[in-house]
Amino acid sequence: MLPLIGKRLLATIPTLFGVLVVAFLLLNVVPGDPVAEMVGERADAATIARLRAELHLDEPLPAQFGHYLWGVVRGDFGRSYITQRPVLGDLADRFPKTLQLAGAAMLLAATCGIALGVLAAIRPGGAVDRLSMFIAYVGISFPVYWVGLLLILLFAVALRWLPPSGYGGLAFLVLPALTLGTRSIAFLARMTRGAMLEILPSDFVRTARAKGLSETRVIGRHALRNALLPIITVLGLDVGNYLTGSILTETIFSWPGVGRYVLLAIERRDLPAVQGSILFMSVIFVLVNLLTDVLYAKADPRVAYD
């Protein structure tokens, strides 16, 4: 397993380089001018030209990219044009908060989603199945911002049980985690149900029952374990998405995470901040994918990597 991980990590270097090149080119192709965002609504041409020179934006693109790459290699993601703070520091400041929200949402999704899916599969067409189907429909079809605002109205304004938004203790985490997790709960429940329904009629499940194993053991150890592969795939994708910031949820709940940072950076054409964030997110994605692959092998010994 270890050589595999090492090899995969090495293979990420060209991937990340590719991401950097594409991000850099895209940012230079899209309309919008970082200097215009630095000077605000009213400025004179001389100031604009001076800032452009200060930021080396008047140099040819390959030279600009070279500067940037050289910085990244030395672990320097540069400073934001807008705030003049180091990009890496800003990301390090926000990532733990995103991690917290993603962790809570995933915990919620994994426990509720898988449990609902398993329960639904035990009695297809039964009450639990119909309930899980309902939750799935609601979760998948309602837009995140709508669910978020409704939750705020109910729990924060009408009932006053929880704060509407902001970052702080557990109380602040409940609503955004619920909002973010709902989609995953819905998707995971349907996924688990489908996989379980395929597995349950299998010979080995019948054998397990015939051996006299308890139903819990049959479902939990034999059936569920075999249904895990698609579940891990979905979880892996969601974790990747959540860890790179959930712009809508973070905006509605004033959560100081990575998603809002990136959004603001893009809006203001803050090139170092956008590039740094993209690189950071790519690293996260690559790592989560690697973890997912390792988990595949753990869950199913038949999966072997060369």
Partner 1 sequence: MLRHLLRTVNLFDTAKRALFLCFLAACSGRSGGDQTQSLLYYETYDPRSLDPALSTDVPTGEMVTLLFDGLTQFDPDGRILPALSDRWTADARGQRYVFHLRPRVNFHDGRPLIAADVKRAFLRVLNPQTRSGRVWPLLPIVGAADFADGRARDVRGIEVLGDTAVAFTLTEPLAVFPKFLAMPVAAIVPAAPSADFAQRPVGTGPWRFVEWQHDDYLRFAANSTYWGGAPRSESLTVRIVPEPLTRAAEFLAGRLSVAEIPFGETVKWEREHPDWLHRKPALRAIYVALNNRRGPLRDPKVRRALNHAVDVPAMLRTVWSGRGVAAAGSIPPALGGSDAGRKPYAYDTAQARRLLREAGVAQGFSVQLWRSGTNVELGRVAQAIQAQLAAVGVQVEIVSRDASSMREAVRKGDTDMAVLDWWADYPDADNFLYPLFHSASFGPGGNYSFYSDPGTDSLILAARRTVDQAAREALYRRIDNRVFDAAPWIYLWFPVDLWAAQPSLDGWDVPVIFNGQRWTKAHVAADR
Residues binding partner 1 (CB under 8 A): 30-33, 35-48, 50-51, 54-55, 82-85, 90, 93-94, 112, 115, 119, 122, 128, 149, 152-153, 156-157, 160-171, 174, 214-216, 219, 251-254, 256-257, 260-261, 264, 267-269
d(CA 244, CA 284): 7
Q: How far is the CB of 296 from partner 1 (least distance, A)?
A: 27
What is the SS3 assignment for the chain? CHHHHHHHHHHHHHHHHHHHHHHHHHHHHCCCCHHHHHHCCCCCHHHHHHHHHHCCCCCCHHHHHHHHHHHHHCCCCCECCCCCCEHHHHHHHHHHHHHHHHHHHHHHHHHHHHHHHHHHHHCCCCHHHHHHHHHHHHHHHCCHHHHHHHHHHHHHHHCCCCCCCCCCCHHHHHHHHHHHHHHHHHHHHHHHHHHHHHHCCCHHHHHHHHCCCCHHHHHHHHHHHHHHHHHHHHHHHHHHHHHCCCHHHHHHCCCCCHHHHHHHHHHCCCHHHHHHHHHHHHHHHHHHHHHHHHHHHHHCCCCCCC
In the bound complex, what is the minimum distance in angstroms from residue 183's beta carbon to partner 1? Answer: 19
15 or 28, CB closer to partner 1? 28
- Whichever of 11 and 171 has its CB closer to partner 1, that residue is 171
In the bound state with partner 1, the residue whose beta carbon lies nearer, of 24 and 296, is 24
- The residue among 1 and 30 lying less far from partner 1, judged by its C-beta, is 30
Closest contact distance (angstroms) between CB of 31 and partner 1 is: 4
In the bound complex, what is the minimum distance in angstroms from residue 216's beta carbon to partner 1? 6
| In the complex, minimum distance from the CB of residue 278 to partner 1, in angstroms, rounded to a whole number | 17
Rounded least distance, CB 5 to partner 1, Å: 34
C-beta closer to partner 1: residue 8 or 97 = 97
- For 204, other C-beta atoms within 10 Å of its C-beta total 12
Judged by CB, which is closer to partner 1: 66, or 166?
166
Distance of CA 159 to the CA centre of its chain: 30
CB closer to partner 1, 18 vs 32: 32
CB of 22 to partner 1, least distance (A): 19
What crossing angle do the helices spanning 170-199 and 87-108 adopt, rounded to 10°?
50
Nearer to partner 1 by Cβ, of 2 and 170: the residue is 170
**Least Å from the CB of residue 135 to partner 1:** 13
Q: How far is CA 179 from CA 27, 105, 144, 148, 214, in A?
A: 31, 8, 7, 6, 36
